[in-house]
Amino acid sequence: MATMADVARRAGVSVATVSHVLNETRPVRPDTRRAVLEAIDDLGYTPNTLARSLVTARTRSIGLAVSAISNPYVTEILQGVESSALERGYGLLIADPHDDPVHERKAVQLLHERRVDGVIVAPSAEPARLMDYLTRHEVPAVLLDRLVGDTHDQVCAENAPPVEQLVLHLADLGHTRVGLVAGLPGLSTTTERIAGYRAGLERRGLPFRPALLADGHSEAGGAEDAVHRLLASPEPPTAIITANNAMTIGALRALRRAGLSVPGDLALVCFDDFSWADVFSPGLTAISQPSREIGATAVRLLLDRLENPGRPPRTVRLPCTFVHRTSCGCVAEDPDRPLPGTPGPPGKDPVS
């Protein structure tokens, strides 16, 4: 088995230089670094990660605590985190807190006890225990998808402007009773998407009707019940917005059981695009979140935090895309155009 000394001899450098390349403890000239990496590759040298962590106090690993890993949106975030971490030489430990505040805190503690260099967390609706643990133990952390205050680095998609634009689109098609199936109360995503819904109504001079806002608890079963409640109201909606992909499935089930067709009897649009949204008939008009970029940005924020622990916390919001299909009741054109009224991609990645 090759040793660090073998690598040093092959590259024509000292063992200390090999160590600096591996541990990034001191700048090394590009040609020297390249020679060391080529020697490592030629010899098949595998660094002793445990020994290295004892020297550097780093394990080159990241903890990810995120619920509903089977959800396509979350899966794509995970892929963004994993590929970005691997690119930078970091491993990934994953925990599913199940959106439970107690389990969430325990999951993060277990990741911390395994000496990850930092954690990326999608907070629950009651994140007090989590935030207390992160603060008391000074755990380098990035909050993902859901925002909590301004004490930590955070990354999410825009929430209010995209929902506002869905309302405007439906209103411009002639709908005056637009319903919203909202997510779990307490989540920043839920609060912001409701704010976007109300802003869209106001911009088109439509009244806010509490009976047309229903809580779908961010899951399919809750959304199914919510749509049944909306349809049972004295003045039911002629169009419905669902606030995530799981609730879209529940809404479709409810409409099918009610014997209603989309968009013939009722228009349906959704926040969260997913890979089979265009397979439905009609195809679902949707807001697509930059899920992989959210995951990759979280990694960049975390690694920057590790290198610059004293810098002020940053919140990064990424723009969404309006995917125009036919469930809204009109013919799809230019299916991947940027969402009207939202900022375009920034000229420079703020955390590159």
Q: What is the pLDDT of residues 304-320, one digit of tens each?
A: 999 999 999 999 999 99
State the average pLDDT over residues 117-133: 95
**What does the angle CA 67 – CA 68 – CA 73 come to, to the nearest 5 degrees?**
110
Q: How does the average pLDDT of the chain come out, rounded? A: 89
Q: Say if residue 57's pLDDT is above 70.
A: no
Instruction: For residue 242, name the pLDDT band (cuts at 50, 70, 90).
Output: very high
pLDDT, greater one: 23 or 224? 224
CA distance 248 to 218: 10
State the average pLDDT over residues 19-33: 82
Q: Say if residue 340's pLDDT is above 50.
A: no
User: Poorest-confidence range of 53-57, 184-188, 324-328?
Assistant: 53-57
According to the model, what pLDDT value does residue 220 have? 95
According to the model, what pLDDT value does residue 92 have? 95
* Model confidence, pTM: 0.79
Domains and CATH numbers, the chain: 61-157+291-318 (3.40.50.2300), 160-289 (3.40.50.2300)
The terminus-to-terminus CA distance of the chain in angstroms comes to 37
